[in-house]
Amino acid sequence: EAQVTQNPRYLITVTGKKLTVTCSQNMNHEYMSWYRQDPGLGLRQIYYSMNVEVTDKGDVPEGYKVSRKEKRNFPLILESPSPNQTSLYFCASSLWQGASYGYTFGSGTRLTVV
């Protein structure tokens, strides 16, 4: 089944403890992206990647890192999480440059930083 898989689904962590949210797609998509969703603010793009080793900042990149060493994986790294990073996170992928073909989204990771 074609899908984007995120892990974990839920995560509670403490301030400052480094964490990684994994994202993997099995559709050979070139384009991958991370969004966060917050009440009243909608979905905002954190980082995106157009291909292996090609990543760039979205609208809200502060406090996050990403890497794209393989085409299928696009992990989101929080080096020192803070409470304002409590949010619902989504990974998405698309065949090429995302928008022309529509995104496939993962099921989301609900992160709570205390």
Partner 1 sequence: SQQGEEDPQALSIQEGENATMNCSYKTSINNLQWYRQNSGRGLVHLILIRSNEREKHSGRLRVTLDTSKKSSSLLITASRAADTASYFCATDPSGGTSYGKLTFGQGTILTVHP
How many of the chain's residues bind partner 1 (CB under 8 A)?
30
Q: CB under 8 A: which stretch of 11-19, 40-48, 60-68, 75-83 binds partner 1? A: 40-48
Closest CA to 109 of 91, 84, 85: 91
Which of 1, 42, 62, 69 is in the footprint of partner 1 by CB under 8 A?
42
Q: Residue 90, interface with partner 1 (CB under 8 A)?
A: yes
C-alpha 102: how far from its chain's center? 16
Tokens 């022309």 identify what position? 100
CA distance 36 to 3: 19
At its nearest, how many Å lie between partner 1 and the CB of residue 91?
9
